[in-house]
Structure 1
């Protein structure tokens, strides 16, 4: 049950627009996970964002999150990014770490 504030929805819309314009074809999937996705967020909760890229390296991962952080300066939204290529994500998702299971179970594609 995705539960975002109006400000978070606006931030997400603006960030997606930047991704489509500047990184067209790079992002395979964008998911919100954590308390916002579960509908259990509090006033102090951050916005957990998972980006799955078709391919890329650390430079691209850094470049793709920068606009999200820049947009957050103008708002009260506090994004927390995880960025993986599809290959990296599939390898991690198969693991037993609770975070990967939680993201797989609760993550909401947006």
Structure 2
């Protein structure tokens, strides 16, 4: 499977599993067009809800893990509520995602 195919599959999964108001952002080397053969797929998932619940890990994160196994590529999703994410606005990580991130869904 090509990188383009994997990206399309990530977008397809996001449309299926993200709840209303949710967002998926690709960040890191793949977003900056600096990926190497060994680069992983860094995904930030933001949910528009008061807190992350156990079911969110199963319903939202698991499909990306399953894709990772299916295609043999490291897909690294992390999940926050939008409010939690905004609390990190002072961090270099937040700034890097804001600067380089690509909203996929």
State TM-score, norm by structure 1. Answer: 0.78
User: CA RMSD for the aligned pairs?
Assistant: 2.0
Q: How does 1:16-35 map to 2 (within 5 A)?
A: 16-25=11-20, 28-35=22-29
Distance 1:28 1:53 in 2: 4
- Cα deviation code 1:13-43 (max 9, x no counterpart): 3343334334442x52111000001111111
The aligned counterpart of 2:61 is 65
Instruction: Assess if the C-alpha contact under 8 Å between 2:14 and 2:24 holds in 1.
Output: no
Three-state SS of the structure 1 residue aligned to 2:38 is coil
Structure 1, unpaired ranges of 5+: 1-5
Q: Which residues of 2 match residues 10-21 of structure 1 at below 5 A?
A: 10-21=5-16
Aligned partner of residue 76 in structure 2, secondary structure: strand
Structure 1 or 2: more helix by fraction: 1
Structure 2 length normalisation: TM-score? 0.81
Q: How many Å apart are 1:76 and its aligned residue?
A: 2.6
**2:83 is the alignment partner of 1:87:** yes
Poorly superposed stretches of 4+, deviation over 4 Å: none
Equivalent residue in structure 1 for 2:103, among 102, 105, 109: 109
Alpha-carbon offset, residue 79 of structure 1 = 0.6
